[in-house]
Structures are given as structure tokens and as C-alpha cells.
Amino acid sequence: MVDRVRTLLLGAVMVVLGTLALPLSAFVLDGSNTGENLIVPVALVVSCGIGALLALPVLGPDLPARRRAVVGAGLGLLGLVVGVVVFFLLISGLDGA
């Protein structure tokens, strides 16, 4: 029961961080010499990395460290996908592009 609560809490935190990763990476990389093509890959690496790092101490010690890191990276990916969908809906509306 406690592990599920911790996983849900980590998932909620990763949705917030994944939502913030996209505009922050766009703020840093937009208009630079690196080009705009790196905004989404950098946001992906950052959100998966933060998810893996946060999952190691948060999830229960009964899981191996590699599995905790993979679960955290997956939650980071989920958070980024939710963030991309939220920003698409904010920019385009419900009617689409």
C-alpha cells in the first residue's frame, strides 16, 4: 500500500516536472545556435533523468536499484507526454491545429 502511494506521488511530481521541462528547455534552446530541433530531446533526457534520480530514494528498498531507476524514467517520460499534450491543447485548443 505504501509503495503504491509513493509511486503515485512520484508520478504526480513527474507530471509537474515534465510539464515544466518543455518550456524551460525551449527557453534555453530557442534561438540559439543549437537549433530548435533539440528542445524535445533535451526535455526528454532531463525529465527521464530527474525521474530516475528521484525514484531511487522514494521507491521502496525492496526493489533493485535498476528497476527503481527504470520506473522513475518511465514516470518522467509519462510526465513529459502529459506536458506536451497540455501545451498542445493550450496553444491549439480543442479543435486542433
Domain-embedded: residue 86:
yes
Domain range for residue 86? 63-91+93-97
Of 60, 83, 88, 82, the C-alpha closest to 72 is 60
In a domain, 82, yes or no: yes
For 44, half-sphere exposure in the C-beta direction (CA atoms, 13 angstrom radius) is: 6
Q: What local confidence, expressed as pLDDT, does residue 96 receive?
A: 63
Whether the pLDDT of residue 97 is over 60: the answer is no
> Looking at the 3D structure of the chain, how many domains does it have?
1
Position 11 in a domain: no
**Does 76 reside within a domain?**
yes
Note the pLDDT tens digit of each residue in 46-76: 999 999 999 888 887 888 989 989 988 998 9
| Local confidence band at 19 (pLDDT 50, 70, 90 cut-offs) | confident
Q: What is the amino acid identity at position 5?
A: V
Considering the entire predicted model, what is its pTM? 0.82
In this structure, is residue 6 part of a structural domain?
Answer: no
Looking at residue 35, its pLDDT comes to: 64
Percent of the chain exceeding pLDDT 70 equals 93
